C-alpha cells in the first residue's frame, strides 16, 4: 500500500507535528460514561449565553457592515485599546499599537515560533510546561531546554546557565498550566535581571491570571520592565473559549513581524467575533463573570484537595494552587503515572500523566547519558518525570470530583500493593512516536 506521505522530508515534517501525546490516554475512552479531570476546559455551565445572544443582536443592528467585512490584520482598534489599557492595569506599560489580536492565544504561540525559531534554536521552557505550546513550537524543530523548577519558579542557576545563545524563554508566571504554580516575586526579579543581560526573547504566557482564589497574584515578568519580551493573553479563561480571541503585546518591532506572519496565516481574526467581544467588554461582562468564576473554581479546588486528603495513600503529594484550573500530583517514584492513568481510564476516570508536559532537561533523547552535560551523573534528574499527574478541577462538580478522586486513589493503592493490571515499563520520552494522530488541543 502506498503511503500518503511518500517523500522522506514530508514524513519528517509529519513526525514533527504529531501525534498528540494525549490520544494515548484519552482516545479510546467512552467519554459519555467517564469523569474527566484531564481537560483544560472551563465549565460550560458558566457560559453567558443570553449576554452573547443580546450582544450579537446589538452588533448586527449597529455595525452590520463592519462586523461582516474584512478588518485590519492587527485587530479592531478599540479592542486593541481595551487590551492595552487592561495590560497597563497589570503593570505593563504599552500602547494599543503594540497589541496584535490573535485567533486564541494559541495562534500567538504559533506565530512566535514561526518568527523566532529556526531548526535547533535553543528554546527554554519550564518543567513542566503547557503541552499546546510544545506542540506549536515543535513544528519549528527548536532544541527544547527544560528548566528545572521548585515551588518558587524556574531555578535561577539553571536559567543563567541556559540563557546564553537561547532564542526564546517561554514562561508562565501565574497559575501555570499544568503545575498550577506561580513564579514568586523575588524569583521573578532574579529571572528578569538575567534576561536583561541576554539577547533571549521573553514570551510570557498568562491565561489564568484572572482566575485567582484568595487575592490577585503579584505582577508577572513583563511588568518588571523586560525590554525584549511579549505578553500573550486570552479571553478564553476570563470569558469563554469559543470566541477564539487572544493577543500578543509588547516589543514593537517583533509585533510588526508577528503581524506579517499573521497576515500569511489568516489575514485577520474574525471581524464578527471581535465586534461581539467588544460589545461584551463594553457591557462589563468580565466584571460580572469573574467574581462568579473565582468562587466556583475555588470551591472545586477545595473539593479536590479535600477528596485527595481523605482518599490518597501515604507517599502521594499534591500542590495547593491559589488560582487557575489544575492540581499537580506526585506519586511515589516506584509508580509510573502512565500506568495509573491507563488503569483509571479503564474505570472511567480521565487524568493526564505529567510526562506529556515535560521535555526533560536537555531536550536530547539520551537525557544525560550521552555527553558531559551537567546531568551526566544523574540521568534520572534529566529525564521527563514519570511519577506526576495533572488533575483539572474546573470542569467537574463536587460529587464527580469526589468520585473520580476515590477511584484514582483506589487505583494508586492497588498499584502500590502490586495488583495493578498494568505492567511496569521503562521510561520513554514524550512525542517521539512517528505515527499519525489527530491533534486534540481542547484537552491541553
Ligand atoms: N496558553 C496556555 C498556558 C493554555 O493553557 C492555553 C489553553 N489551554 C492556551 C495558551 C491557549 O488558549 P486559547 O487559544 O484558548 O487562548
Q: Say if CB 169 and CB 204 are below 8 A apart.
A: no
Is residue 172 within 8 A of residue 129, CB to CB? The reply is: yes
| Residues 195 and 67 placed together within one structural domain of the fold | yes
Whether 310 and 195 share a structural domain: no
When divided into structural domains, the chain yields a total of: 2
Q: Which of 22, 38, 137, 177 most suits a substitution to test ligand 1, by most atoms within 8 Å of the C-beta?
A: 177
Could you tell me if 155 and 175 lie in one domain? yes
Round to whole Å and give the CA distance between 287 and 291.
Answer: 7
Cα torsion angle, 35, 41, 42, 47, sign: negative
- Given 236, 258, 285, which residue is the final one in a domain? 285
Q: All 3 cell numbers of residue 1? A: 500500500
The atom of ligand 1 lying closest to the CA of 107 is: 14
Q: Alpha helices of 63-140 — where are they, by DSSP H? A: 64-68, 77-89, 104-116, 131-138
Q: Domain boundary at 262, 285, 308, which? A: 285
Same domain, 26 and 112: no
Q: What is the dihedral of CA 81, 136, 236, 129, to 10 degrees?
A: -110
Question: Same structural domain for residues 13 and 84?
Answer: no
2 in a structural domain: no
Residue whose C-alpha cell is 527548536: 142
Tens-binned pLDDT, residue by residue, of the chain (444 aa): 455 556 666 666 666 665 565 555 555 444 567 899 998 899 999 999 999 999 999 999 999 999 999 999 999 999 999 999 999 999 999 999 999 999 999 999 999 999 999 999 999 999 999 999 999 999 999 999 999 999 999 999 999 999 999 999 999 999 999 999 999 999 999 999 999 999 999 999 999 999 999 999 999 999 998 999 999 999 999 999 999 999 999 999 999 999 999 999 999 999 999 999 999 999 999 999 999 999 999 999 999 999 999 999 999 999 999 999 999 999 999 999 999 999 999 999 999 999 999 998 765 444 444 444 444 455 566 788 899 999 999 999 999 999 999 999 999 999 999 864 444 443 333 222 222 223 343 446
Q: What are phi and psi of 256, to 5 degrees?
A: -65, -45
User: Among the three residues 266, 285, 304, which one is the final residue of a domain in this structure?
Assistant: 285
CB atoms within 10 A of CB 374: 15
Task: Provide the grid cell at 234.
Answer: 486570552
251 and 366 both lie in a single domain: no
The CATH number linked to 396 is 3.90.1150.10
73: closest CA among 267, 239, 254?
267
The verdict on 139 and 272 lying in the same domain is yes
At a CB cut-off of 8 Å and minimum separation 6, what does 145 contact? 122, 123, 124, 125, 162, 166, 359, 361, 362, 363
Residue 429 lies in a domain: no
Task: Tell whether 234 is covered by a domain.
Answer: yes
Q: Which of 110, 112, 132, 235 to mutate to test the pocket of ligand 1 (most atoms within 8 A of CB)?
A: 132
Residue 222 lies in a domain: yes
pTM, two decimals, is 0.89
Task: Give a yes or no: residue 53 inside a domain.
Answer: yes
Instruction: Assess if residue 440 is contained within a domain.
Output: no
CA dihedral (274, 279, 284, 289) positive or negative: negative
Report how far ligand 1's centroid is from the alpha carbon of 370 (Å): 35
Task: Indicate whether 131 and 274 sit together in one domain.
Answer: yes
Range of the domain at 327: 8-44+290-416
434 domain residue, yes or no: no
Report if residue 231 sits inside a domain: yes
66 and 37 fall within a common domain:
no
Ligand 1 pocket, residue 105 CB under 6 Å:
yes
Amino acid at each position: 500500500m502506498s503511503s500518503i506521505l511518500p517523500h522522506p522530508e514530508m514524513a519528517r515534517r509529519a513526525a514533527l507535528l504529531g501525534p498528540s501525546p494525549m490520544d494515548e490516554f484519552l482516545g479510546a475512552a467512552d467519554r459519555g460514561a467517564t469523569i474527566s479531570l484531564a481537560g483544560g476546559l472551563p465549565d460550560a455551565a458558566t457560559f453567558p449565553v443570553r449576554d452573547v445572544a443580546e450582544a450579537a443582536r446589538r452588533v448586527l443592528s449597529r455595525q452590520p457592515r463592519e462586523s461582516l467585512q474584512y478588518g485590519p490584520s492587527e485587530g479592531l482598534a478599540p479592542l486593541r485599546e481595551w487590551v492595552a489599557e487592561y495590560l497597563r492595569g497589570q503593570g505593563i506599560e504599552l500602547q494599543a499599537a503594540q497589541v496584535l489580536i490573535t485567533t486564541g492565544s494559541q495562534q500567538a504561540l504559533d506565530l512566535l515560533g514561526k518568527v523566532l525559531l529556526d531548526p535547533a534554536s535553543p528554546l527554554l521552557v519550564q518543567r513542566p510546561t503547557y503541552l499546546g505550546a510544545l506542540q506549536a513550537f515543535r513544528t519549528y524543530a527548536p532544541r527544547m531546554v527544560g528548566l528545572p523548577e521548585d515551588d518558587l519558579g524556574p531555578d535561577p542557576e539553571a536559567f543563567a546557565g541556559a540563557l546564553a545563545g537561547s532564542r526564546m524563554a517561554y514562561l508562565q508566571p501565574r497559575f501555570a498550566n499544568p503545575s498550577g504554580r506561580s513564579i514568586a516575586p523575588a524569583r521573578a526579579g532574579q529571572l528578569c535581571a538575567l534576561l536583561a543581560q541576554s539577547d533571549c526573547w521573553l514570551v510570557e504566557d498568562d491565561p489564568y491570571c484572572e482566575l485567582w482564589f484568595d487575592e490577585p497574584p503579584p505582577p508577572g515578568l513583563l511588568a518588571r520592565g523586560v525590554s525584549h519580551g511579549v505578553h500573550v493573553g486570552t479571553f478564553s479563561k476570563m470569558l469563554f473559549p469559543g470566541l477564539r480571541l487572544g493577543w500578543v503585546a509588547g516589543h514593537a518591532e517583533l509585533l510588526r513581524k508577528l503581524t506579517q506572519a499573521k497576515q500569511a496565516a489568516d489575514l485577520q481574526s474574525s471581524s464578527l467575533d471581535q465586534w461581539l467581544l467588544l460589545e461584551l467588554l463594553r457591557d462589563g461582562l468580565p466584571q460580572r463573570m469573574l467574581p462568579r468564576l473565582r468562587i466556583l473554581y475555588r470551591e472545586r479546588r477545595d473539593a479536590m484537595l479535600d477528596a485527595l486528603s481523605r482518599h490518597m495513600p501515604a507517599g502521594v503529594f499534591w500542590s495547593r494552587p491559589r488560582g487557575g484550573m489544575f492540581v499537580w500530583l506526585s506519586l511515589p517514584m516506584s509508580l509510573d503515572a502512565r500506568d495509573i492513568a491507563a488503569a483509571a481510564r479503564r474505570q472511567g476516570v480521565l487524568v493526564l500523566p505529567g510526562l506529556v508536559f515535560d521535555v526533560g532537561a536537555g531536550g536530547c533523547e539520551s537525557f544525560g547519558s550521552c555527553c558531559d552535560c551537567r546531568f551526566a551523573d544523574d540521568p534520572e534528574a534529566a529525564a521527563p518525570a514519570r511519577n506526576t499527574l495533572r488533575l483539572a478541577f474546573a470542569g467537574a462538580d463536587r460529587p464527580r470530583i469526589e468520585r473520580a478522586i476515590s477511584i484514582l486513589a483506589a487505583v494508586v493503592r492497588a498499584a502500590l500493593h502490586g495488583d495493578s493490571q498494568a505492567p511496569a515499563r521503562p521510561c520513554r520520552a514524550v512525542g517521539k512516536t512517528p505515527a499519525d494522530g489527530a491533534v486534540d488541543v481542547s484537552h491541553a
